[in-house]
Amino acid sequence: MVEVDLHLHTTYSDGTLTPRELVQSCADHGLKVIAISDHDSTEGLAEAVEAGGELGVKVISAIELSTDVPRSEIHMLGYFINPDDAQFQTVLSTFREGRRNRARNMVKKLNTIGVAITWTDVIQIAGEAAVGRPHIAQAIVDKGYVKHKKEAFDRYLGRNGVAYVERPRLKPSDAIRLLVDNGAAPVMAHPLYYEQDYSKLRSTISDLKEAGMVGIEVEYGEFSSPDRKLLASIADEFKLLHCGGSDYHASGNPGEAPLGSAGPTLETVAKLESMTKHKHVSSTQD
Ligand code: AMP
Ligand code: ZN
Ligand code: FE
Ligand code: FE
């Protein structure tokens, strides 16, 4: 177990714990510094920061944006974001609208192939969250079509699934620009999810470093130790910070990396913070 976990999701995106429940669990696991990185939403941050203040956990305001590349996507994390940036919030709300439209179209596709879930099922599960495929997956599980959400992805919702629908996304360099303009530090999430060809991955990372990215996830919950060594050498080659976290969603999927299973050093957190404009961190320990 580690002291720092910089990749966590709450009920404001596709996690199943509320911000307060998640921060409580982090405190119980002995975590000292965490980042809440919901997809396209900052709505959970205030509650998490408040809970962190009470429980002695330093909470960094973060976000995870999905960006578009040919035949794939790259997730860009932003650390020390300023949630009070109106322009930034306008962009996030257009992404959330795109998520709703996409989810409606996915429900329609599912219905045509005999998977009888409704839009109401999905929004009841999503509640206040930015709607994501995991909410649709939960509706499919609840109706008994599959046992785990992961199976719903394999059969229906994954990029090669029969009910997959695209949604509007930024290019990675534009997401980096959006984050830098906000004053945040952009970091590539789970770099080994996108590209089997490591020389292509290295060239993408090199381009994104040029665009303003400051780190990549090296210590990532689902990555093996040889994978982490490979990513550490790529990070060193391009002078990028070794970031990371568990990407915990409390998803219920078998084999999900537990909370606090991976994360960077406190020294890396300090470097990350020194690269940001706003110093948006809240805690009892400041
Ligand atoms: P969305 O943001 O709607 O595109 O959904 C992407 C999210 O779905 C990811 O952040 C993961 O939380 C989850 N996810 C993606 N692929 C899978 C998979 N194969 N099995 C389970 N969850 C997945
Ligand atoms: Zn997610
Ligand atoms: Fe991700
Ligand atoms: Fe994530």
CA of 283 to the centre of ligand 1 (A): 30
Determine whether the shortest distance from the Cβ of 133 to ligand 1 is under 6 A.
yes
Give the DSSP letter string of 199-219: HHHHHHHHHHHHHT--EEEEE
Ligand nearest to the CA of 7: 4
pLDDT recorded at residue 278: 62
Phi-psi region of 164 (alpha: psi -120 to 50; beta: other; left: phi over 0): beta
Q: How far is CA 196 from the centre of its chain?
A: 21
Q: What is the pLDDT of residues 95-125, one digit of tens each?
A: 999 999 999 999 999 999 999 999 999 999 9
Domain boundaries along the sequence of the chain: 4-83+171-280, 92-157
Determine whether the shortest distance from the Cβ of 75 to ligand 1 is under 6 A.
no
Q: What is the pLDDT of residues 175-199, one digit of tens each?
A: 999 999 999 999 999 999 998 899 9
| CB of 263 closer than 8 Å to CB of 2 | yes
SS3 assignment, position 220: strand
Ligand nearest to the CA of 190: 3
CA of 38 to the centre of ligand 2 (A): 7
Residue 80: how many other CB atoms lie within 10 Å: 24
For the chain, which residues score pLDDT lower than 70? 278-286
User: Which fold does the domain 92-157 belong to in CATH?
Assistant: DNA polymerase; domain 1 (1.10.150)
Which residue puts its alpha carbon closest to atom 11 of ligand 1? 134
**Is 4-83+171-280 assigned to CATH 3.40.50.10140?**
no
- The rounded distance, in Å, linking the Cα atoms of 265 and 249 is 22
